[in-house]
């Protein structure tokens, strides 16, 4: 068994009582490995053809991977954004958030992007997803995952919660606060997390979590909901944070969570109606989560100004490039920022001063007299939306060569930019001429 801090074990023993023995036994077992199917791009049949999987109870797209030796990150379907590798119970919070088509949703602590991409999948290309990560150097992995999963209707920012939520007050239908925590629920999966555990760290996390949650309260509209989650077992970071939040924000109420997974949280740590919140332990099929759902019962009227889309003049070439690649109508508003073109989502709020890293989809960059399309543009596409797209079998030598950055000899398409797909899921593009496809797959994403 992994060596765990004695103080941590004493707290868990007091919490779990007769179940403590089973909790300890779980540390002799392997951590759960899971994936979540990205319904923006893929269906269950394609995944079943490639992996030995078993359904989880935490979300309808979630599955346990039963083969521990599968290199998921190098698989062509992973490159294509067909699935997201995710600890199974990590999907539970978004299930409880329950995004609905057309809603505006804020993921306040978003990196690396597992929960954001799950929200995007449930929004099905409608509404708006705003993914914020205060630690700026973590936004690149967030951006990469948003692009890989083919999300079109997102904004990615790196902004302090107090600034973001104040400027976007009352704007969002729902807010997810997957708060930074002491990570006790990751001890089985990541033994390194054990080294950083201390009671002082737990208490510091609790202070920060309450501050983030208090800021989130400003961003949700009247009647809207906040879902608060952590991947830790500590009552200080879970029940006690929610209890303090409800005292400081009496206009919010704790909502009942009606799900067929996990177990009720504990009222003994000061949280009135603790049975309305939810906990997940390793004995419940996941590494460890706490989830609470809060409803805003005040008249929180938004004063957020709408984004003013810039003039459509002088971007004729960008429209022509889109139309040469896609067979569908433009799904947003093209704007040029310096030498880069973006397809901005509809119904944006004013984004000035909010540390926006990316809004919408990067269309391409001006290179002299022409525009070079971006990898993100093709990743946002579905196979049947492209004018020219070549398809390779998931286990073909061609797709593995493409993912290593190699040119491919082929003679089946028109000259110019061509989408490359695996099992009809777009995973990049190349430029075709004279029987050869010049590879445009980004170097940082290639398999070794």
Those residues whose C-beta lies under 8 Å from the C-beta of residue 207, and which sit 6 or more positions away, are: none
The catalytically annotated residue of 231, 296, 389, 412 is 231
The span from the first CA to the last CA of the chain, in angstroms, equals: 34
Listed in order, strand segments (DSSP E) in 102-256 are: 104-107, 128-132, 154-157, 172-178, 220-230, 252-255
Is 231 a residue of the active site?
yes
Burial 286-325 (b: 16+ CB within 10 A, else e): bbbbbbbbbebeeebebeeeebeeeeeeebeebeebbeeb
How far, in whole angstroms, is CA 225 from its chain's centroid?
18
3-state secondary structure of 414: coil
**Residue 187, C-beta contacts closer than 8 angstroms, at least 6 positions apart:** 2, 4, 27, 193, 194, 197
Q: What is the distance between the alpha carbons of residues 25 and 312, in angstroms, rounded to a whole number?
A: 63
Going by the DSSP 8-state scheme, the letter that residue 256 receives in this structure is: P
Compute φ and ψ for 325, nearest 5 degrees. Answer: -95, -40
Cα torsion 434, 435, 438, 440: sign: positive
Give 156's strand partners.
131, 358
CB count within 10 Å of CB 247 equals 10
Catalytic residues: 231
């Amino acid at each position: 068994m992994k060596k765990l801090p004695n103080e941590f074990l004493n707290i868990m023993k007091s919490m779990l009582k007769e179940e403590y023995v089973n909790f300890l036994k779980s540390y002799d077992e392997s951590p759960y490995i899971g994936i979540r199917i990205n319904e923006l791009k893929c269906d269950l049949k394609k995944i079943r053809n490639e992996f030995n999987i078993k359904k989880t109870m935490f979300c309808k797209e979630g599955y346990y991977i039963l083969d521990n030796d599968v290199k998921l990150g190098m698989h062509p379907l992973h490159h294509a954004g067909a699935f997201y590798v995710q600890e199974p119970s990590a999907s539970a919070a978004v299930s409880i958030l329950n995004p609905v088509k057309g809603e505006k949703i804020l993921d306040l602590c978003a990196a690396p992007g597992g929960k954001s991409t799950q929200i995007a999948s449930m929004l099905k290309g409608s509404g708006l997803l705003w993914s914020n990560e205060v630690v700026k150097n973590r936004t690149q992995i967030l951006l990469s995952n948003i692009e890989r999963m083919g999300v079109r209707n997102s904004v990615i920012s790196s902004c302090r919660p107090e600034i973001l939520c104040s400027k976007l007050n009352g704007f969002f239908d729902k807010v997810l606060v997957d708060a930074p925590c002491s990570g006790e629920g990751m001890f089985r999966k990541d033994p390194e997390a054990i080294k950083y555990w201390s009671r002082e760290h737990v208490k510091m996390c609790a202070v920060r979590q309450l501050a983030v949650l208090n800021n989130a309260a400003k961003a949700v509209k009247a009647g809207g909901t906040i879902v608060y989650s952590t991947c830790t077992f500590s009552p200080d970071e879970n029940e006690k944070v929610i209890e303090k939040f409800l005292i400081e924000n009496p206009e919010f109420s704790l909502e009942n969570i009606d799900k067929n997974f996990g177990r009720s949280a504990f009222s003994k740590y000061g949280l009135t109606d603790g049975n309305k919140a939810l906990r997940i332990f390793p004995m419940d099929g996941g590494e460890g989560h706490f989830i609470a759902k809060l409803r805003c019962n005040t008249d929180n009227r938004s004063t957020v100004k709408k984004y003013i889309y810039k003039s459509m003049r002088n971007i004729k070439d960008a429209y022509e490039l889109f139309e040469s690649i896609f067979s569908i109508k433009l799904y947003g508003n093209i704007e040029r920022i310096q030498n880069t073109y973006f397809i901005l989502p509809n119904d944006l709020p004013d984004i000035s001063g909010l540390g926006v890293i990316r809004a919408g989809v990067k269309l391409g960059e001006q290179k002299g007299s022409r525009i070079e399309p971006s990898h993100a543009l093709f990743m946002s596409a579905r196979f049947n939306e492209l004018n020219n797209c070549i398809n390779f079998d998931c286990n073909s030598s061609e797709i593995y060569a493409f993912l290593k950055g190699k040119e491919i000899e082929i003679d089946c398409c028109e000259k110019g930019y061509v989408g490359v797909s695996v099992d009809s899921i777009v995973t990049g593009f190349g430029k075709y001429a004279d029987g050869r496809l010049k590879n445009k797959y980004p170097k940082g994403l290639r398999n070794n």
